[in-house]
Amino acid sequence: MSKQILFDKQNFICSLFSWFEQNKRDLPWRKTYSPYHVWISEMMLQQTQMERGVRYFNRWMQEFPTPDSIAKSSLEKVLQLWEGLGYYSRARNIYASAKIISNTYNGKIPCDEAKIRSLAGIGEYTLSAIMGIAFEKDYAVVDANVERVFARLFNCTDKNLKKAVKPLAQELLPHGKARTYNQALMELGALVCKKIPQCANCPLVPYCESKKLNLERERPVPKKKKEIIPVLASFCIITNSNNEELLRQRTNQKLWNTLWEYFGIDTVIFDNASSAEEKQNVARQSILIEISETFKIPKAILEENVSDNAFFVTSNYTNHKLTAYFFSWHVTEEFEQIINKNISGTGPYVWTKNTEQSAMPSHHRKAHHQHHKEKG
């Protein structure tokens, strides 16, 4: 349902801008508002808390101060620096786009909608952020924070909230002030108009329909919670006599494609296992079978050599909670030769002492740190 703006726009903007001037956070990309900084910050902050995003942004800029520096690097390095932010397709898109920016646009993001839109991974939101915040063109930026602010301002109950909010945000945008306007709305949503609103601190209360109707805690209309599916996985940290670890690169995978991991199984069936001890036993039997079938080593021999005990790490992803068990096996030269014989030509495996330099899914990185902590 379309909404009309019934309040004084100028007073609304003055209230919003005054609040922002007094309360805005000192964020690194706000020091320059360069198109490159805005682009990287917006890519990082999708599904990421601000404190974590700032930490990653600062580390990224030390390594990649310009699009050219990304283009001259390797995808492996880009993925490694992105590690922990998830949604690795964003990092791949940044790498692909940096190549285009470096080769086609002389290392500068162009102030041109069509050219920006043609870059890898640039959707409507990121386009609006670059055009509105970096170049100060009249583009309204609507993220989850802005959706929440407008849902309360206009008592909006539309199921497609972004579609309902976008024209309202665009209509209220004062010409030539897109940077301050967008940043102020996003900041207000992040600091004041949160899931539990802090109306006592809000400069927009006089304009808020939901507040007048005492519905501010019911807007936006709550979405149905996604079912979180528990997933059990089992892996083995295999090391040789040179203290090298065996890593396998994921190829042709929807999840974590091209990242490196320890040998194992992404999904273990554990329907009849309820206790932690039972789950660990199921995980161990599953990994023993996987090792046996892959490396052609009798399972009975593995029973005597692969560790009985494991540690586990948990990671929360979009719609599932992963519990990954990690066992360990320090192989003799004889077993290393058998492993090498059976992995030859089967895909990218590597023995390495540089696991720290390999891009890995977060649960494998946690396991790497835990394993070496226990080893001392």
Catalytic residues: 42
Cα 200 → chain centroid: 33
Residue 218 backbone phi and psi in degrees, to 5: -105, 5
The answer to whether 111 and 132 are in contact (CB under 8 A) is no
Residues 218 and 148 sit within 8 Å (Cβ to Cβ):
no
Question: Are residues 276 and 230 in contact, defined by beta-carbon separation less than 8 angstroms?
Answer: no
Sheet strands (E) in 66-193: none
Q: Does residue 131 contact residue 139 with C-beta atoms inside 8 Å?
A: yes
Distance, CA of 290 to CA of 324 (rounded, Å) = 15
CA–CA separation, 159 and 331 (whole Å): 57
- Burial classification of residue 307, based on how many CB atoms lie within 10 Å of its CB (0-12 exposed, 13-18 middle, 19 or more buried): middle
Contacts 24+ apart (CB under 8 A), 153-161: 153/204, 153/207, 153/208, 153/209, 153/210, 154/3, 154/209, 155/209, 155/210, 155/213, 155/215, 155/219, 156/3, 156/219, 156/220, 157/1, 157/219, 157/221, 158/1, 159/221, 161/220
CB 297 within 8 A of CB 320: no
Reduce the secondary structure of 282-301 to three states and give it as a string: HHHHHHHHHHHHHHCCCHHH
Inter-residue contact 298 to 361 (CB < 8 Å): no
Exposed, middle or buried, 189 (CB in 10 Å: 0-12/13-18/19+)? buried
